[in-house]
Structures are given as C-alpha cells and as structure tokens.
Structure 1
Amino acid sequence: MTYTISPPLRPKSPQSRRPRPTYLVIGLVVMVVASYLFGTAPRARRAVAADDHPTEVPREHPAEGTESADAPVTEAAGSEEKDKEEEHEGGGHDSPVAPVLAAIVLLLFSAKLAGDVFERLAMPAVLGELFIGVVLGNLGYLLGFFNLEFTALDFLRSSPDGHGDPHSTGYILSILAEIGVVLLLFEVGLESNVRDMLKVGASSLLVAILGVIAPMLLGIGVGWFFLPDRPYQVWLFLGATLCATSVGITARVLKDLGRSQQRESKIILGAAVIDDVLGLVVLAIVSGIIKQAGTGEALKISALALIVIKAIGFLIGAVFLGGLLTRPLFRAASYLKGHGLLVAAALVVCFGLAYLATLVSLAPIVGAFAGGLILEHAHYKDLSRRENVELEHAIQPLTALLVPIFFVQMGINVRLEQFLTNPSVWGLAAALTIVAIIHKQVCALGVVEPGQNRLAVGLGMIPRGEVGLIFANEGAKLVMKSTDGTSSPVIQGSTYAALVVMIMVTTMVTPPLLKWSLTRGDKPAEAA
C-alpha cells in the first residue's frame, strides 16, 4: 500500500492576498482623464471662445471676379484647420467614437473599483457605483472650481430629460445606460417566476399590497408638505418611487446569513417580487397621468381608466401570450447553427416586449420585466444544454458592461450644489428617508401567520436599490407643462438629489438591520 504525502499548506501571506488599489491604479485613472482633457477639452474651449468672439480676417488679395465679402475667414475656422493639421502631422485620428470609448473606460474602471471598496465594507456594490458617479459628476465642484463654465467631466453628464445633443458623449452614454436598465429589469424578471408568485400565500400578497398603498399615501403627503408649489403629479411620482423594493439586495443578505429557506425569508422574497410587479404597474399609471397632463388637458376619468387598462392588460397579455410564443421561438432557434443563439433569442424577447410597451405608452422596463417573467427553463433547455450555459449567466457580460454605466451616470447627474443653494433639499431627503423606512413596517402588518418575525419582514422590504434608481430616472425624463406654457421635468434637480439620498440610505441600512432582526428573533426560540 502506497501513501501520497501532500506538502503542508502554507498560510496565505499578506503579499499573496488580492492587493489593494495601488499607485498604478491611480495612475491609470489619471492617464485616462488626462488623455481626454488634454485631447478634446482644449479644442472644445477654443470652439466656445471662437463662437463667443468671432473676428473676421479679411483677405489681402481676393481673386478676380469675386467679391471680397463672399467668404469671411474667422478665427474659429482657422483654429479647426490648425487642429486638423496638427492631428494629421502627429498621425492622430479624430474618431467620433474616441470620447465615448474613453468615457466607458473611465466609468467601468471607476465603478468596479468603487464597488469592490463598498463590498469590502459589507455594503452593496451598487452604492459604490452610485457614489463614484456623484464624485465624478461633481469633481470640479469638490475641488473648489465653482465658477468654471467648462467643468472637467461635464462630458459624462446627460440631459435631465434625455433629449440632449445626439452627438454628445453624455447622450450616447445615456442610451447605453437605458439599454442597461432594460437588461437589468429583464434579469430581475428571470429571477422571478409566475408560478412561484401564485404560491406565495396570503401573507406575501398582503405585505406587497400594503407596500404599494402606504408609500403612495405617505409620498403624496411628503410632496404636499415640502413641494406645495409643484403640481400633484409630482407628489404622485414621489409615492410611486417609494413603492419600489430591491429584491436583489435583500436576497443577498438572506443568502449570506444562510436563512433563505426560513418562512420569514420566503414571505419577504415573495412580497418583494409582487411589490416589483405592482410598483411597475403604478409607475405605468402615474407616468400615463403625467403624460396626459403634459398635453395641457385636464385628466378625465375615461383617460385614467384607459391608462390603468393598458398597464394591467399589457402585463397580463405579455405573460399569457408571450408564454405561448416563446417556446416555439426557442425551438426554432435550436435548429439553427452558430454560437450565441440562446442570448440572441432571449434578447429578441426582451427588446421586443420592451418596444411593444412603448407602443402602448408604457416604459420599456415594463416590457423587459415581463419578458424575463415569462421565460422558463423549459423553454430554452435545448439551447442551454447545447451551449452548456444558463441564460442568467449568458447575459451577465452584457449587464456587467451596461448596468454600471447606468448607476454611475445616475450619480453623475446629482448636483451637490443643490444641497447648499437650496437647504430645503435636506428636509425633503430626510422626510423621504424616514417615510421610506416607516411605511415598510406598516407592510409587516400584512403577515397573518402567527409566530412570524414581522420586524424582519418589514426591514427586509426597506431597500430601494436599483429599482428605486430606475423609478427616479424615469421621473427625470418625464416632462410636463405648467399653466404658463413652460415645460419642466417632473423630478427636478433638487428633488432628484433628495431621492438619490433616500435610495442610498435605505440600501445602506438594510443589511445590518436585517441581520440584527433575524438573529434577535432567534433568541426566544433558542431559549424555548
């Protein structure tokens, strides 16, 4: 008999562990920013200066048969020609995609670095991505450059209403971010299941229903008190944003604690999924009301009924009709030759339903969520087996690219000066945060089963996370007309900043509070 002697395992030294960010990382970030600023920013400054102060340079010897005033030469044109000559001499290539690539490198690298730091602090990575966005978007302000018309990283910022210059870097990033949001809601739908939703029981259903009614009422109250000069549609949207619940963050905490199979955990997760569905319906209804108000016409009962029917009817129709059509689609795709057919067929369902949602005046995210909801493993098992990958894992490279862009840009669009120039933002942010935490405890009253940890259920429904950010983003894009004929976004800069603060705080406090409530709730049982 022979024995194999394995070498003793050496303990990991600090040098063998994953290194923390070094000066090389900082140097890379500085290099990316500097390459953009010293390449594109000076040209932008010269163009702005030339537009503000154009001076004509007359020709000394005009050609015969032409008038001297036919083609005045400006300094702006001379500057552009000089830039082109410099680029030609230096072998440069002024590609329109170059600033977009530089922005993507900066956003992705910063997002992953900040996400890693926040995860080391036992907080969700989405908070790190949002935080680094706030830093990047207010870098000039934080460094004391208050009066610069051209701030260093303004090229990353998108127009609040989503209708900026289509050639600007910020606008292109906003398009990529919107696609990332569609994929994110599709991924959330994939993690849910219609059959599981029908089996959640009375407690989860009541918790979810209370999770919609309570925030709507409290959100309207906060809007009425802090924003009395704004129309009631803004108050409605505040309530809709408070309806959101991030099932992913709560599920991650429960999994880390090893308590996913407890009854309280199942109630929380079931209620959070239903809450997402109801929240999207509420978002669709409120958005329809705001769009109706944007036409300048008074809201009629018939118009409101049509909005409700379209929102609910689309989800029901997508679930039933989509469930019948997806199986033949994936079966047909399984006969094709090639790679990536699983992802391609899934994206056809996702983007197709997202587009159909826009045709009935709903947000694309509603269709994307419905697309993920109707897909079951039985529909695509042949393709999954052939490509040896699950659909959730197959689309992760796409979400890893596009979703961080959305979160970082959400932070970039936050203006920190709003908190100094408008002190009422602090009160609005505090009120929204308190209401967001309290009303979820009201939801816990829906737990009808005796002996359950209602405190844990209420705390598990607190985080807004990515869903709350999506709702706030939709509000920033919606535009409505006032009585004097002017248009303005529903969620303006100060309100947007307050919502982001509320989302960050609720997402940050949930993991420690939920852990405390679950461990605290176990002590009486252990003693018994």
Structure 2
Amino acid sequence: MTYTISPPLRPKSPQSRRPRPTYLVIGLVVMVVASYLFGTAPSSRRAVAADDHPTEVPREHPAEGTESADAPVTEAAGSEEKDKEEEHEGGGHDSPVAPVLAAIVLLLFSAKLAGDVFERLAMPAVLGELFIGVVLGNLGYLLGFFNLEFTALDFLRSSPDGHGDPHSTGYILSILAEIGVVLLLFEVGLESNVRDMLKVGASSLLVAILGVIAPMLLGIGVGWFFLPHRPYQVWLFLGATLCATSVGITARVLKDLGRSQQRESKIILGAAVIDDVLGLVVLAIVSGIIKQAGTGEALKISALALIVIKAIGFLIGAVFLGGLLTRPLFRAASYLKGHGLLVAAALVVCFGLAYLATLVSLAPIVGAFAGGLILEHAHYKDLSRRENVELEHAIQPLTALLVPIFFVQMGINVRLEQFLTNPSVWGLAAALTIVAIIGKQVCALGVVEPGQNRLAVGLGMIPRGEVGLIFANEGAKLVMKSTDGTSSPVIQGSTYAALVVMIMVTTMVTPPLLKWSLTRGDKPAEAA
C-alpha cells in the first residue's frame, strides 16, 4: 500500500515571507549594539576586577607581637574570599570559551544578514560577508571621524601571518576559518569530476590554460611596476592570485538565466573547473618558491623542478591512489552502526589529504580539493542510501558554520586606513582590477569553435570570488625573509587591501555583464 503525503498549503510565496527592508535595518542596528556589548563586556569586567583587586597592596607596619609576613597572607586570603563572593553574586564565572562563543554569534548573525542584503541586490552573498567583515574590522576607525573611540571589536582581529597569541579570540577564530577554507575547497572538489574534466574538449582546455597564463603575466607586470622595492616572489604571488576563477558565481548566473546547457556555458564551466586545478598547482609552485627563498639560498633549477614535481605529483597521486583507498574506507564504514558515518568518513578523507599535503610543503587546501575530487557517488552510495542524504548536503551544516567565519575574517583583516595613509593603494587596486578583467578576456581566444559567444566566455571567467580570497589569505600567511634578516608577510597590509578590492569588483561586475552578454540578442529575436 502506498501512502501519499500532501505538502501543507502555503498561502504566500517564499518571497513574500522574507523579511522586509525595515526588519533588515532593525537587524543592522541590533548587530551594532550586540557588537558593542560583546566587545566591551569582557573588558569592563576586567576593569572592575582590576579596581577591586589591585596588583600591589600597600603594606602597613605590623603591630607589636605580630610578624610582617602575616600581612600579605591575610590580604591574599581576603582577596580570594572576595573573588568567590563576587563569583557567587554574579551567578557565574568568566569562561575562556565565552569570548569565542560571543564572536561566533556576532560573526554568523552579521554574515547571514549581510549576505541576505547583497542577494537582494542581485550580488553574491560572499560579497556581503566580506563587506560586513570590513565594517566590523574598521568600526573603530570609521567612528574615529566623529571623535568616538571604539575598540570593542579588536578582539576579533587575528595576526595576518597566523602566529599570534594562541589563547586570543582572534587566533581561535582564525583556526576555525582555516578549517572552513579546507571544507570549502573539499566542497569545490566534490562538485568537480575527473572524468568530466577529461571530456571538456579543446576549447575549455585552451580557455583554462590562457586564463592562467595571461592574468599571471599581467599580475607580475603590475607588481613590478607598483612594487619595485619588493622581491620578485611578491610579484609572482600577485600573478598567482589573478589566476583564480570562481566557478560557483558564474554557475549561479548561468543557472538563473536558464542557460546552463548552452555550448558557451559548458565551455565556461569546464574551463573554470580546470582553471581551479591549474590555479592550485600554480599556488603550490609559487608558495614553494617563496619558502625556498625564505631559507636564504638561491633558487636552483633542481629545487624548482622538485617543487613542480611535488605539486603535480601530489594531485596525480591523490587522484589515482586515493580513488583506490576511498572505496574500501566507505565500505568498512557502511558496516558500522551509528549516525553520521557518511560525513565522518568523508572528513577523514578531506582532513587526511589536507594533512598529507602539508607534509610535502603544500597548502592544506590543495589536499582538501584533491579529497573532494577523488570522491565519487559510487564510493559511498551504500552509506548515502542508508542515511538517506547526499554527501554534498550532509556537510552543508559544517560549511554554513565555518565558511562565513572565514569570509568575515578576511574582511576584518582589511585596514581602511591603508587607503588614506598610502594613496598608492588606490592605483594598485585599480591596476589589479583592470588586468584581472583583461587577462580573462584574453582567454576567450581559446574558443576554437566557430559561432560561439567569445565575449560571454571571457566575462564568465572574470569573478575571483571565494577562490581569490583563499589565494590572498595564503599570501598573507606566507612569510619571507629579506637580506637583512627581517621577516614580513608576502602579501602585506596595503597589498592585501588592494587584492580584496580587486576581488570584490570582479565578483560584482560579472553577473550583470554576463547576463547582458548572453541576452543581448534575445529582444530582436522575440520581436521577429
């Protein structure tokens, strides 16, 4: 017997149930107030504690017949009793995890709110998360124009090179953000397929290759012109960052337009996937060159060849050997009892390959991408059927928690004062944006099939999105030594700010331009 369950009637469409702009304004106000409370409450408690328990207690002269050593003991005991009384009166105690929980609440709430606002404006949610991070990270600087001192949110900021105080809230958030990046690249790998990559055709392959070479050469030229005092490794990393392409943003636009099955769309999506792989290889090679320079030794051809072999060999080895190991892993997991085994086994693959990548001096994101790339539905179909969920959907709760933290923190680390104290940042940001767009237009020359919309192909490769942010984040963490022995990040504050501007602009302009390019001939056709 078959039972049919009818869905409940919904008198209003989902759009009508979405919050009105008035509620969004109220939400922004709540976010600002909450950020102030979250930031000032711990510091105010510390200030009160400091006033009640001064570090130096004045010592009185002992009375006759008493020992002077008893005074500090009595004062210390009284201080401990006062601490206990305050703890009981307050109804709780300061937990080391409390600031982290408060920060997560603030970041998630603000990220989702800003993402919703930007989606209403027909822009990717990732831009909203990045934008709100810039606001939170520079709120004190912005309020400084009104002579208001505000440092409540400084606890959200982390050290750019990742070597800050391991007990600080910003450092813990940076660790969560790094795990979020690993999961994000794992998710990107899951959406790709090795077999599909081998069948993309000549046009997609040529577009992807040109989409890496042209932007990288232009990026190196911009670095040489605007940053002549920096080492050549910095120019290389600028070029590597320009190689990135966000396939997710372009795919979303094509899907919304109902054009995913057009030949131009298939060329764009196939090229973007290959571009991701080539971009990660370039990132691994450039990072290896920078690390080699950090040793103080000159880069030799043999060392460069070893770096290239490690980068390419790891991906090839992960694809072929990993595919042989994942099937038995998921088969063994299917014999276990319990819930969440599909996600657990997938995370073992993801984190395991990410860790192995670090052992060969590669970024963890390279291993995470390879982990997603080697997993096919046939490997985990038994677990998926038993738990009645697809792997892509099963890991979404994890990415929904950790990935927004990464994007918001990327915005928090942008210092707006860089644009005023160093006006050349504007020129660098403009130059990077221009060459980022031109470089991806060059790749359209790789379309060898006649009659295709080459302009649409070039525009579809423009957005850097989350992939560009990941590359910029890797550059901010890489540290290189100069000839005088001092160390500095490869991507410093001003360069980092310029890269974020480039990423935001290229991501914002792509949806309307791509839509215009694909639909510009529709009206005459309809009129005919």
Same fold (TM over 0.5): yes
Aligned residue in 1 for 2:516: 516
Give the gaps of 5 or more residues in structure 1. Answer: none
Q: Give the superposition deviation at 1:166.
A: 0.7
Contact kept, 8 Å, 1:459 with 1:510, in 2: the verdict is yes
Tell me, yes or no, if the aligned pair for 1:57 and 1:74 is still in contact at 8 Å.
no
1:217 and 1:2 map into 2 onto residues whose CA distance is 63
Matched, 1:278 2:278: yes
- Taking a change above 3 Å as real, the CA distance of residues 24 and 315 of structure 1, as seen in their structure-2 partners, is closer
| Residues 51, 76 of structure 1: 8 Å contact kept | no
Q: What is the deviation of 1:18? A: 2.2
1:406-425 per-residue CA deviation (whole Å, 9 max, x = no partner) reads 00010011011111111000
CA distance 1:60–1:388, shift in 2 (3 Å): same
Structure 2 vs 1, CA of residues 84 and 245 (structure 1 numbering), >3 Å: closer, same or farther? farther
Please tell me whether residue 45 in structure 1 is matched to residue 72 in structure 2: no
Q: How big is each residue's C-alpha offset from its partner over 1:471-495, in whole Å with a ceiling of 9 and x where there is no partner? A: 0000000001111111110000000
| TM-fit CA distance, 1:142 | 1.2
Question: Alpha-carbon deviation of 1:73?
Answer: 10
- Provide closer, same or farther for how the CA distance between residues 81 and 316 of structure 1 changes in structure 2, counting only shifts above 3 A: farther
CA distance 1:70–1:371, change in 2 (3 Å): farther
Residue 62 of structure 1 contacts residue 68 of structure 1 at CA under 8 Å; is this kept in 2?
yes
User: Equivalent residue for 1:196?
Assistant: 196
1:37-61 superposed Cα distances (whole Å, 9 cap, x missing partner): 4786563796699799997433215
C-alpha spacing 1:232/1:5, structure 2 compared with 1 (3 Å): closer
Q: TM-score, normalised by structure 1?
A: 0.91
Q: 1:443 to 1:99 in 2, by over 3 A?
A: same
How many residue pairs get matched? 528
Query: Does the 8 A contact of 1:288 with 1:362 survive in 2?
Result: yes
Work out whether residues 46 and 76 of structure 1, in 8 Å CA contact, stay in contact via their aligned partners in 2: no
- C-alpha contact (below 8 Å) 2:110/2:132 kept by paired residues: yes
Name the CA shift for 1:217/1:169 in 2 (closer, same or farther; >3 Å): same
**1:350 and 1:372 in contact (8 A); partners too:** yes
The C-alpha deviation readout for 1:409-457, integer Å capped at 9, x for no partner, is 1001101111111100000000000000011110000001111100000
Q: What CA distance in whole angstroms lies between the structure 2 residues aligned with 1:70 and 1:289?
A: 64
Flag the 1:78–1:40 CA change in 2: closer, same or farther, 3 A.
farther
Question: Is the alpha carbon distance of 1:138 and 1:12 closer, same or farther for their aligned partners in structure 2, counting shifts above 3 Å?
Answer: same
* Of 65-74 and 15-24, the range deviating more from structure 2: 65-74
Long gaps (5+) in structure 2? none
Moved more, 84-93 or 365-374: 84-93
Structure 1 residues 342, 2: closer, same or farther in 2, change over 3 A?
closer
Secondary structure at 1:40 match in 2: helix
Q: Return closer, same or farther for 1:5/1:431 CA change in 2, 3 Å cut-off.
A: closer
**Which digits, 9 at most, give the CA deviation of each residue in 1:3-60, with x for residues without a partner?**
9999999985999632226569847964885587478656379669979999743321
Q: Which residue number corresponds to residue 253 of structure 2? A: 253
The 8 Å contact of residues 343 and 395 in structure 2, kept in 1 or not, is answered as: yes
Deviation, 1:512, is 0.4
Alignment CA distance shift 1:87-1:393 (3 Å): same
Find the aligned partners of 2:452 and 2:424 in 1 and give their Cα distance: 40
Asked if 2 retains the 8 angstrom alpha-carbon contact of 1:56 and 1:75, the reply is no
CA distance in 1, matches of 2:5, 2:163: 68
Moved more, 24-33 or 66-75: 66-75
**Residue 137 of structure 1 contacts residue 414 of structure 1 at CA under 8 Å; is this kept in 2?**
yes
Relative to structure 1, is the Cα distance of residues 17 and 240 closer, same or farther in structure 2, using a 3 angstrom cutoff?
A: same
Change (3 A) 1:145 1:194: same
Shift of 1:92: 1.9
1:348 aligns with 2:348: yes
Change (3 A) 1:444 1:50: same
SS at match of 1:484: coil
- Compute the displacement of 1:299 (Å): 1.2
Tell me the distance in 2 between the aligned counterparts of 1:133 and 1:2: 51
CA distance in structure 2 between the aligned counterparts of 1:28 and 1:116, rounded to whole angstroms? 12
Distance of aligned partners of 1:204 and 1:524 in 2 relative to their CA distance in 1, 3 Å threshold = farther
CA–CA separation in structure 2 for the residues paired with 1:302 and 1:462: 35
Instruction: From the superposition, tell whether residues 373 and 7 of structure 1 become closer, same or farther in structure 2 (CA, over 3 Å).
Output: closer
Is the CA contact 1:215–1:242 (under 8 Å) kept in the aligned structure 2?
yes
After the TM superposition, which of the residue ranges 5-14 and 235-244 deviates more from structure 2? 5-14
Q: Deviations over 1:142-193 (max 9, x none)?
A: 1126988871201111110011111111111100000000000000000000
In structure 1, what is the Cα distance between the partners aligned to 2:8 and 2:293? 73
Q: How far did residue 250 of structure 1 move? A: 0.3
Residue 177 to residue 80, structure 1, CA distance change in 2 (3 Å): farther
Question: Relative to 1, partners in 2 of residues 1:301 and 1:46: Cα closer, same or farther, differing over 3 Å?
Answer: same
Could you list the per-position Cα deviations for residues 385-409 of structure 1 after superposition, in whole angstroms to 9, with x for gaps in the alignment?
Answer: 1110000000000000000000001
SS at match of 1:480: strand
SS at match of 2:488: strand
Describe the shift of the 1:83–1:505 C-alpha distance in structure 2 as closer, same or farther (beyond 3 A): farther
Contact 1:419–1:426 under 8 Å retained in 2: yes
Change (3 A) 1:335 1:29: farther
1:245/1:31 CA distance change after superposition, 3 Å:
closer
Per the TM alignment, residue 467 of structure 1 is displaced from its structure 2 partner at its CA by: 0.2
Alpha-carbon offset, residue 86 of structure 1:
2.9
Can you list the C-alpha shifts for 1:226-274, whole angstroms capped at 9, x where unaligned? Answer: 1111111100000000000000000000000001011100000000000
| Deviating more after overlay: 302-311 vs 150-159 | 150-159
**TM-score normalised per structure 2:** 0.91
Q: Is the 8 A contact 2:39 2:152 kept in 1?
A: no
**2: distance between equivalents of 1:367 and 1:447?**
31
Between 413-422 and 22-31, report the one with greater CA deviation: 22-31
Q: Which moved more, 1:125-134 or 1:19-28?
A: 19-28
The answer to whether the aligner puts 1:131 opposite 2:135 as a matched pair is: no
Change (3 A) 1:364 1:325: same
Deviation sequence 1:67-107 (CA, Å, 0-9, x none): 96999899999999967653332112211111111110110
Contact 2:285–2:307 under 8 Å retained in 1: yes
The verdict on how the C-alpha distance between 1:4 and 1:342 changes in structure 2, with shifts beyond 3 A counting, is: closer
Partner-residue secondary structure (3-state), 2:149: coil
Q: 2-side partners of 1:486 and 1:439: how far apart?
A: 34
SS in 2 for 1:488: strand
- Asked if 2 retains the 8 angstrom alpha-carbon contact of 1:133 and 1:410, the reply is yes
Q: Please give the alpha-carbon distance, in whole angstroms, between the structure 2 residues aligned to 1:307 and 1:53.
A: 57
Contact 1:56 1:73 in 2 (8 A): no
Q: 1:18 to 1:522 in 2, by over 3 A?
A: closer
CA pair 65-317 structure 1, distance change in 2 beyond 3 A: farther
